[in-house]
C-alpha cells in the first residue's frame, strides 16, 4: 500500500492482511469495481465468494434457495460506524452481530443472511478485505451462513467509505402465535432484566473516534446474544419479550416497549454500568442509559421466573446480569428511574442521538 492509504476512512491503524487478496495493480476501490465488468467479477469472486465460502454463493445464481422447516423470522438492518475499526470490533463483525441479535430477540435461531456492500471510490482494498474477513469470522462463530449479497460503488465523497446492509433469516424456537415473544406480551408485574453492563459499545466507539485525552481500557460489548436468548428458551423460562439496547440505549428501548399502556420503573442502583463508562459519560455530559450496547439483552420475564433466568445467565458467565426494574400500569410517564437516593425521576427520550453513527 502507498503512504496515502493510511486511515482516510477512520481506521484506528492501517490494517494488514495475513494472506492479502491478489488485487493486482489496484490498491483502492474504483468505479470500475462496480461496473459489472472484469474488475467487479474479480472482486466478487476473489474476495466475497472466497471469504464467505458457502454453497449458495458458489452457485452464482440470482437468488439462494435452501430447505427450511418451521416458522421463519426475518430482519433487515443497515450498518455504519465511524471509525470503521474500534476496540472490540469493526463494521464487519458489527453487521453480523446486529443481524443475529435482532433474530435472537424474536426467539429465532440464526440460519442465513444476505450482505450488501456500498463502497466509496477510493476505499483501500486492504480495509475492505479486513472487514470482509471479520464479517466472515463473526458469521461462522454465530452459526449463520452468508447465502447472497450485492456490491455497489459510489463516487468519491458520496459513500463515507463503506456501508453494509444485511437481511437475516432464523428459525423461531417458539412458533405458536400465542406463545410468541414481543411487545404485545408485556404486562404489569413482569420483571425487567439486563444481561450485562450497559453503554460499553457506544463509549468505546466514541473514544476511538475522539479520545480527548482520556485513557481507559474499554472495549465494545458487541457480540451475539443468541446464546443468552437460547438459554432462556431451552429452560422454558416464562419469557415475554427480548430486546437489544442498541441505538439510544436502555432509555430508547424501554420507551419504545412501554408504549401508552405501561410504566417501567427502573432501579438505578441495580443497573450495571462499568465505572469507566460512567466516568467517561460524566466527563462528556452524557447519560450511560442513553448509550448503545451491541451485545446485551433486555428481557421481560414473569416475576416467578426472574431469579431463575438470572441464575442461568450468571452460570453462562454473564455475572453482571441483573434484575433492574418492573412493569406497571401506565402512571405519570413511560419510564421512571428510582434513584440511589430514593427519589424518582422521569427518564425522557433525548431530542436526538448524542453520538451518531455508532451502530
pLDDT digits (tens, 9 = 90+) for 202-223: 999 999 988 877 888 899 999 9
What is the predicted pLDDT for the residue at 310? 98
pTM of the model: 0.88
pLDDT value of position 173: 87
3-state helix, strand, coil in the chain (%, to 5): 35, 25, 45
pLDDT for 194 equals 98
Confidence (pLDDT) at 174: 75
Give residue 353's pLDDT.
60
- Which residues of 121-231 form beta strands (DSSP E)? 145-154, 162-172, 191-194
pLDDT for 217 equals 87
The one-digit pLDDT tens for each residue of the chain (359 residues) are 333 333 334 443 434 444 445 555 678 989 888 888 888 888 888 888 999 989 888 888 889 887 878 889 999 999 999 999 999 999 999 999 999 999 999 999 999 999 999 999 999 999 999 999 999 999 999 999 999 999 999 999 888 899 999 999 999 987 665 578 999 999 999 999 999 999 999 999 999 988 877 888 899 999 999 999 999 999 999 999 999 999 999 999 999 999 999 999 999 999 999 999 999 999 888 999 999 999 999 999 999 999 999 999 999 999 999 999 999 999 989 999 999 999 999 999 876 665 555 66
pLDDT, position 59: 87
Give every CB contact of residue 202 below 8 A, 6+ residues apart in sequence. Answer: 249, 291, 292, 293, 355, 358, 359
Which letter does DSSP use for residue 197 in this model? Answer: -
Q: Which three cell numbers stand for residue 180?
A: 410468541
The predicted pLDDT at position 175 comes to 63
Q: Which domains does the chain have, with CATH numbers?
A: 25-172 (3.30.1330.10), 181-346 (3.90.650.10)
Contacts of 57 (CB under 8 A, 6+ apart): 48, 49, 64, 146, 147, 148, 149
Q: Are 170 and 103 in contact (CB under 8 A)?
A: yes
Q: Given CA atoms 355, 122, 28, 163 in this order, what sign does their dihedral have? A: positive
Amino acid at each position: 500500500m502507498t503512504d496515502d492509504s493510511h486511515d482516510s476512512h477512520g481506521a484506528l491503524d492501517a490494517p494488514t492482511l495475513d494472506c492479502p487478496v491478489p488485487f493486482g495493480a489496484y490498491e483502492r476501490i474504483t468505479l470500475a469495481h462496480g461496473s459489472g465488468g472484469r474488475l467487479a467479477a474479480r472482486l466478487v469472486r476473489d474476495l466475497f465468494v472466497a471469504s464467505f465460502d458457502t454453497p449458495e454463493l458458489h452457485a452464482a445464481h440470482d437468488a439462494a434457495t435452501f430447505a427450511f422447516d418451521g416458522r421463519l423470522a426475518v430482519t433487515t438492518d443497515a450498518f455504519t460506524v465511524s471509525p470503521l475499526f474500534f476496540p472490540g470490533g469493526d463494521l464487519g463483525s458489527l453487521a453480523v452481530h446486529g443481524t443475529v441479535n435482532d433474530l435472537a430477540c424474536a426467539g429465532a435461531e440464526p440460519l442465513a443472511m444476505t450482505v450488501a456492500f456500498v463502497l466509496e471510490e477510493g476505499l483501500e482494498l486492504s480495509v475492505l478485505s479486513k472487514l470482509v474477513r471479520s464479517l466472515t469470522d463473526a458469521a461462522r462463530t454465530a452459526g449463520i451462513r452468508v447465502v447472497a449479497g450485492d456490491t455497489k460503488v459510489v463516487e468519491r465523497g458520496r459513500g463515507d467509505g463503506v456501508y453494509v446492509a444485511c437481511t437475516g433469516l432464523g428459525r423461531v424456537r417458539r412458533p405458536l402465535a400465542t406463545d410468541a415473544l414481543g411487545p404485545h406480551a408485556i404486562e404489569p408485574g413482569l420483571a425487567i432484566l439486563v444481561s450485562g453492563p450497559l453503554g460499553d459499545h457506544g463509549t468505546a466507539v466514541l473514544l476511538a473516534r475522539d479520545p480527548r485525552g482520556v485513557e481507559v481500557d474499554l472495549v465494545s460489548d458487541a457480540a451475539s446474544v443468541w446464546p443468552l436468548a437460547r438459554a432462556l428458551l431451552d429452560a422454558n423460562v416464562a419469557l415475554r419479550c427480548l430486546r437489544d439496547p442498541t441505538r439510544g440505549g436502555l432509555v430508547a428501548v424501554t420507551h419504545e416497549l412501554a408504549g401508552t399502556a405501561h410504566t417501567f420503573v427502573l432501579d438505578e442502583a441495580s443497573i450495571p454500568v462499568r465505572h469507566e463508562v460512567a466516568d467517561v459519560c460524566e466527563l462528556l455530559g452524557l447519560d450511560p442509559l442513553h448509550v448503545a450496547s451491541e451485545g446485551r439483552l433486555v428481557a421481560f420475564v414473569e416475576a416467578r421466573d426472574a431469579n431463575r433466568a438470572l441464575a442461568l445467565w450468571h452460570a453462562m458467565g454473564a455475572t453482571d446480569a441483573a434484575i433492574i426494574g418492573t412493569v406497571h400500569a401506565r402512571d405519570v410517564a413511560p419510564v421512571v428511574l428510582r434513584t440511589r437516593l430514593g427519589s424518582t425521576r422521569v427518564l425522557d427520550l433525548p431530542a436526538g442521538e448524542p453520538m451518531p453513527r455508532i451502530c
